[in-house]
Structure 1
Amino acid sequence: MQADHTTIDPAEVAKFEAMAAEWWDLNGKFKPLHMLNPCRLDYITSQIAGEFDRDLNAETPFAGLRLLDIGCGGGLLAEPMARLGADVVGADAAAGNIPVAQVHAEQSGLAIDYRHTTAEALAAHGEQFDVVLNMEVVEHVASPIDYLTACRALLKPGGLHICSTINRNPKSYMMAIIGAEHVMRWLPKGTHEWSKFITPDELFKLLRDAGLEPVDRKGFVFNPVAWSWRLSERDLSVNYVTASLKPA
């Protein structure tokens, strides 16, 4: 892959640049991610612990693991991964996100290597990680297959790739766009494009075509009564997450 090749969509980056300062506002534009984060972390930590035989009751169970959070935003996932002992690199194509993440990490006493860069650039420089977190990013890139191929290149043999996105169907249009952007106004209008959403079967095929081996997928399901998220074995109708491995 050429060093100057990128799957970045400038229009998508601009959307998140405009919201950068609000990353850590629990009631701001990223409120949906703050609500979803405990559920995401449950899945991520259990997958890492299972794959690398780590005890989540230990003080720093992910010590010795190098982890990349691609599309790190303000650090909502990078910070808990660092607290669990991982050596974390947070990368984002939106330059405005990086100083926000850096300041918050410093205030939290965490050492995280935040960089304004892309998956393709990191791969071109030969960076290697035990774990790549790729959460809610693939639906915003110009070429999902090229992007996922870069993510695979960033993994060590036997490495773990965790990728979440949004399904493409009438329900996801109503929930993720009409509901979240127009009714609840959790996100600015136009944050998502329904045509860029990816079905679970399409994502599994993309992962395989990129050279990864999908091993798991689960849904993130919102309960409007309890006002909380949960993992589901069966309901992948809107938000969902996958785990895949780079062959050893």
Structure 2
Amino acid sequence: MNDATAAADMNTSSRTTIRPDEAAHFGAMARDWWDPKGSSAMLHRLNPVRLAFVRAAIDRHWGVDPAGIRPLAGRSALDVGCGAGLLCEPLSRLGADVTGIDAAPENVMAAAAHAEGAGLPIRYMAGEVGTLDIGTFDLVTSMEVIEHVGDKPAFVAALADRLAPAGSSDSGRGGLMILSTPNRTPQSRLLLVGAAEAAGMIPRGTHHWEDFVTPAELSDLLAAAGLTMGTPQGIAFAPAKGLHLSQDLSLNYIVTAVRNA
């Protein structure tokens, strides 16, 4: 790496992505984050759907037994924008050595306390993912976060920097990234921002529709960071099925990404 490239990489990783107002908004919910009927109730409903996608992606990427109970044993995982640990704890139970990062110190403290009570050895840190000296990880996740950051290219580049390179694991596949985010569509504006917040299903001020990222935009952001995006799956809602994985991307979607071959 020449000096110019090193300087460019340093500038990208050091750019601020945290929005203080967003961190304060989510930090204010720290005390009841684990209450399935509290302000994060929608995340509790969403988490099993995301976990089903995550588990299937892990099995495909590393060729592990779908019936195994610890498919991440011997692997490391990083969850960025971890909140109070709703995803970190299942990843730990799947066998991973887990690190969670969040912009809000209040969330990190709540996450650490909950993990300690559950007997789970999860490392939690507050701050910018691009400035923390934490190394690389086999699995990098960031769920419902990119729509809240201030500099999306810098954020995706920082996530990519944390992804283990090819040849770093026993399979030689390198790291796996999984992201989820609302899609910027008329449907999401009506239902996620309008109806859900008006009905109290999501705290007011949680979503800003103009910051939502379309699948095409996310693909471009990942490509600029040297990653290839997989086929997105929608997270949809139906009265008979509740939240579920779907081909309908109009509200929310979840994707994998890997380093370019």
Check whether TM > 0.5.
yes
Q: Partner residue of 2:142?
A: 134
Per the TM alignment, residue 224 of structure 1 is displaced from its structure 2 partner at its CA by 2.6
Paired with 1:217 and 1:106, the residues of 2 have a C-alpha distance of 34
- What residue is the counterpart of 2:71 in the other structure? 61
Please list, as runs of the form range in 1=range in 2, the aligned pairs for 1:204-219 lying within 5 A after superposition. 204-219=219-234
Match of 1:243 in 2: 256
Shift of 1:5: 3.0
Aligned mates of 1:159, 1:216 — CA distance in 2? 17
Q: Which residue of 2 aligns with 1:223?
A: 238
Within 5 Å, give how 1:93-112 maps onto structure 2: 93-112=103-122
CA shift, 1:195, in A, is: 0.5
Q: Which amino acid aligns with 1:239?
A: N
Counterpart in the other structure of 1:7: 17
Q: Does 1:40 align with 2:21?
A: no
Spell out the pairing of 1:81-92 with structure 2 (5 A cutoff): 81-92=91-102
1:13-24 pair list within 5 angstroms: 13-24=23-34
Deviation of 1:129 after TM superposition, in Å, equals: 0.4
Deviation (angstroms), 1:225: 3.6
Residue 170 of structure 1 and its aligned partner are, at CA, apart by 1.1
- Deviation, 1:117, is 2.2
1:61-114 CA-to-partner distances (Å, cap 9, x unmatched) read: 210111000001011100000001001001101100011111111111111011
Q: Distance in 1 between matches of 2:131 and 2:238?
A: 39
Residue 194 in structure 1 maps to residue 209 in structure 2: yes
Q: Which structure's CA Rg is the greater one?
A: 2
Between Structure 1 and Structure 2, the one with more strand by share is: 1
Amino acid at match of 2:232: R
The alpha carbon displacement at 1:205 in A equals: 1.1
Distance 1:89 1:114 in 2: 6
- Which residue identity lines up with residue 216 of structure 1 in the other structure? T
Name the aligned partner's letter for residue 56 of structure 1: P
- Aligned equivalents of 2:15, 2:151: Cα separation in 1: 11
Report the 3-state secondary structure (helix = DSSP H, G, I; strand = E; otherwise coil) of the residue aligned with 2:67.
coil
**Residue 31 (str. 1) matches residue 31 (str. 2):** no
Structure 2 unmatched runs, 5+ = 1-9, 166-173
Displacement of 1:247 in angstroms is 3.1
RMSD: 1.3
Deviations 1:146-184 (A, max 9, x none): 10000001011121111110111111011111121112x
The share of aligned pairs that are identical, in percent, is: 44
Distance across 1 between alignment mates of 2:25 and 2:191: 20
* Cα distance between partner residues in 2 of 1:189 and 1:93: 19
Residue 164 of structure 1 contacts residue 240 of structure 1 at CA under 8 Å; is this kept in 2? Answer: yes
Equivalent residue for 1:70? 80
Q: Deviations over 1:189-236 (max 9, x none)?
A: 11110100111111111111121111221000112344x21111x210
TM-score (norm 1): 0.94
Please tell me whether the aligned partners of residues 216 and 244 of structure 1 are also in contact (alpha carbons under 8 angstroms). no
Counterpart position of 1:144: 152
